[in-house]
Amino acid sequence: MDAGIRFDFGNCLTAAVGEHGIDPAWLEALAPAVRKGIDRVNQTRGQGMTGWYELPYEREQVEKILASAREKEGRFDDVVVLGIGGSALGTIALRTALLHPFHNLLPAKQRGGLPRLHVLDNIDPDIMNTFFEDVIDLRRTLFIVISKSGSTAETMSQFLCAKELLEGCLGADKVREHLVAITDKSKGVLRPIADKENLESYVIEDGVGGRFSVLSPVGLLPAALTGMDIDALLAGAAAMDGRCKDGDLWKNPAAMFAAIHYLADTKRAARISVMMPYASSLKDVADWYCQLWAESLGKRKRRDGKEIFVGGTPVKALGVTDQHSQVQLYTEGPFDKVITLLKVGAFAKSMQIPKLYQDVKALAYLGGQTFNTLIEAERVGTELALTEAGRMNLCIELPEISAHAIGELFFALEVATAIGGELYDIDAFDQPGVEAGKIATYALMGCKGYEEKAREIAARPARDKRYIL
Ligand code: PA5
Q: Is the CB of 87 under 6 A from ligand 1?
A: yes
Give the pLDDT band of residue 436 (cuts 50, 70, 90).
Answer: confident
Q: Is 147 in the pocket of ligand 1 (CB under 6 A)?
A: yes
Of 121, 122, 117, 150, nearest in space to 135 by CA = 117
Give the pLDDT band (50/70/90) at residue 438: confident
pLDDT of 326: 96
Q: Which of 1, 50, 16, 57 is nearest to 395 (CA)?
A: 16
With a 6 Å cutoff on the Cβ, whether 50 touches ligand 1 is no
Residue 210 alpha carbon to ligand 1 centre in Å: 5
Which one of 82, 92, 148, 429 would you pick to mutate in the ligand 1 pocket, going by the greatest count of ligand atoms within 8 A of its CB?
148
Q: Which atom of ligand 1 is nearest to the CA of 212?
A: 1
CA nearest ligand 1 atom 8, residue: 85
Alpha carbons 25 and 31: distance in angstroms, whole number: 10
Cα(183) to ligand 1 centroid in Å equals: 11
CA 140 to mean position of chain CA atoms: 28
Q: What is the pLDDT of residues 210-259, one digit of tens each?
A: 999 999 999 999 999 999 999 999 999 999 999 999 999 999 999 999 99
Angle formed by the axes of helices 217-225 and 60-72, to 10°? 30
Per-residue confidence at 3, pLDDT binned at 50, 70, 90?
A: low
C-alpha distance from residue 466 to each of 89, 117, 326, 459, 462 (Å): 40, 47, 35, 20, 12
Atom of ligand 1 nearest to the CA of 434: 9
Please check the confidence at residue 2 and state whether its pLDDT lies above 90: no
94: exposed, middle or buried (C-beta count within 10 Å: 0-12, 13-18, 19+)?
buried
Q: 49 in ligand 1 pocket by Cβ < 6 Å? A: no
Tell me, yes or no, if 324 is annotated catalytic. Answer: yes
- Assess whether the C-beta atom of 209 lies below 6 angstroms from ligand 1: yes
Could you read off the pLDDT of 353-391 as tens digits, one per residue? 999 999 999 999 999 999 999 999 999 999 999 999 999
Answer yes or no: are the C-beta atoms of 326 and 311 closer than 8 Å: no
Across the range 422-439, mean pLDDT stands at 92
| Cα 233 to Cα 209, 211, 406, 415, distances in angstroms | 19, 17, 7, 16
Q: Which atom of ligand 1 is nearest to the CA of 84?
A: 10
% of the chain residues with pLDDT over 90: 95
The pLDDT of residue 45: 87
- Residue 122 C-beta-side C-alpha neighbours within 13 Å: 7
Atom of ligand 1 nearest to the CA of 149: 14
86 CB within 6 A, ligand 1: yes
Percentage of the chain beyond pLDDT 70 is 99
What string of H, E and C letters represents the secondary structure of 236-279?
A: HHHHHHHHHCCCCCCCCHHHHHHHHHHHHHHHHCCCEEEEEECC
Please, which pLDDT band fits residue 47 given cuts at 50, 70 and 90? confident
CA distance 422 to 126: 42
Q: What is the pLDDT of residues 298-344, one digit of tens each?
A: 999 999 999 999 999 999 999 999 999 999 999 999 999 999 999 99
Catalytic site residue 100? Answer: no
pLDDT, tens digit (0-9, with 9 covering 90-100), for 312-325: 999 999 999 999 99
Active site residue 178: no
213 lines ligand 1 (CB under 6 A): no
User: What is the tens place of the pLDDT at every residue in 129-152?
Assistant: 999 999 999 999 999 999 999 999
Q: What is the pLDDT of residue 48?
A: 87
Cβ atoms of 374 and 353 closer than 8 Å: yes
Q: Please give the full DSSP string across 85-115, using - where no structure is assigned.
A: GGGTHHHHHHHHHHS-TTGGGS-TTTTTTPP
Centre of ligand 1 to C-alpha 9, Å, is 32
CA distance 175 to 22: 57
In angstroms, the CA 97 to CA 279 distance is 9
Radius of gyration of the chain (CA): 24
Q: Other CB atoms closer than 10 Å to residue 459's CB: what's the count? A: 7
Q: Confirm or reject: Cβ of 149 under 6 Å from ligand 1.
A: yes
Beta carbons within 8 Å of 306's beta carbon, 6+ residues apart: none
Mean pLDDT across 395-416 = 98
Most informative mutation of 155, 287, 434 for ligand 1 (most atoms within 8 A of CB): 434
- Helix, strand, coil in percent for the chain, rounding step 5: 55, 15, 30
Distance 156 CA to ligand 1 centre (A): 12
User: How confident is the prediction for the chain on average, in pLDDT?
Assistant: 96
Band of pLDDT at residue 1, cut at 50, 70 and 90: very low
